[in-house]
Structure 1
């Protein structure tokens, strides 16, 4: 009988469509420990493809408003005149009062729905985070090594990772050294910008922040999947390729000489190969949470070259300004960089 328990029977069960006999069959099947992890894996898969738990607040609220409006209209006609006068003296109609209650109820529904979504996310994934000016090394269960850069997060499925799935979700920046498996299982890095990096075994760095995405391939071969408008695009990368994808989904690829320089931050080393001061401000905001203002349009275009060792924002800023003969001052919550000659 237990062999009759399959994924699609459980999908019907999760949707509330299973019969009493099927429920009893599933209960017996779950008594075996080896089936319990499979149960949760299929539950995760079903929830990813079943949005029915998302609260339809707008539709439910509108239907409830119409119901209350109808009920209030019917009830008001039966109220004694003295009651109506008393309500008016208090400065508002019963409908206004009920509408306020209604919006309070809607807010409560929204908060409960949001809390359920957050708890579901916490249950489905184990999330690793780094603060500003912090890096973290992760050794995943499948043998993959990940170095997470500052102000970044990596979500790993709580169930089945390394067995039936090797998908992770990255926000920020990380360097991956992916271990090849005997069954050639793909390792997939997903980002909030709809970029996917699909690999078997390789070393690469992924950058995914609000301004766009970037992938640098050091060893092996990877496939990129990204969204350009309504079209799904794909691209194969070779070692030494640097691909940037902007917010519109436009991809640009170019060859670089030293791919490892783009992961030098893992050793607290920052390598600049023609980086402008304007681009430098983005690095300080991403990695250290600091806002830097460059005084003068020409100064923003100044390019930096070299390798700098720094364990803090202050160390890096001091080294860069001294090397480029620049000055900086701190005003409120901003750092202002100027030319030392002025």
Structure 2
């Protein structure tokens, strides 16, 4: 709203009115002498005080009006920001709905149950032979072994052992023939202090994940040290085999030249990913997404997975993988992406 002029704005004319009141006092005193005391000093002072009180009341009322105007302006701004926030929330909700529809439309196959998912993993690795880019994110390098061994009700151990051995062999084969190969897992060891060897993890990320899976099948008690150590050693042995294959037998000089190893660690595991890019394939981008992570271990007995070849969806999962492994902050990796875009 427009502000009043100088004479009616007490925030600007205080000094002017103070001088004016003092002038009235002087005139009052002069008049008092001229009129032989009929207009006394007390009267002059009283007039001044009356005018001053009136001025202060006017100023206080004006300040209150200013504060009210300011509060109303802030309320209007808050209302506008709230309206914009509601609009943005609605937009985000619509984007989430659209993403769900996109995922549903892009899903080529849906897998339910532990054994069908392991079969899908095996087939994915088998079909990824000679890929330009292969990125896997799982809880452990010993893929599927802990579930197969400790699942309740008990699974056919001969079939499960044959299946997990096939996955293990294909994992090493892809570490050998992929141009870029990355396997991201949860850490099995606690961080080492300076000048000390890593200690065996009793509270680390992989241990917590294994503990969560174990309790779904064995709610009567925690995983024993013997069971945990068996799985930990299997996981580390597989990592050593992958590293050896990568360094001595692999066909990815660009990745080695960039100083990027095959094994990455992730701080969290919201789900599990198998991601492939092969420019010569009929469908270059493919993803197998297993909806089993540390936030829904209560669903381990009812695991779900999907496979998609939708390019944008697969690229979104690749971005998730890069973010969780911090490869998106690695200059050497970013240089590879500029040279070999996906």
Greater RCO structure (CA 8 Å; 6+ sep): 2
Q: Where is the strand percentage greater, Structure 1 or Structure 2?
A: 1
Pair in the same fold by TM > 0.5 = no
Structure number with greater Rg is: 2
Which TM-score tier does this pair reach, normalised by the shorter chain?
under 0.3
Q: Where is the helix percentage greater, Structure 1 or Structure 2?
A: 2
TM-score of the superposition, structure 1-length normalised?
0.22
TM-score of the superposition, structure 2-length normalised?
0.22
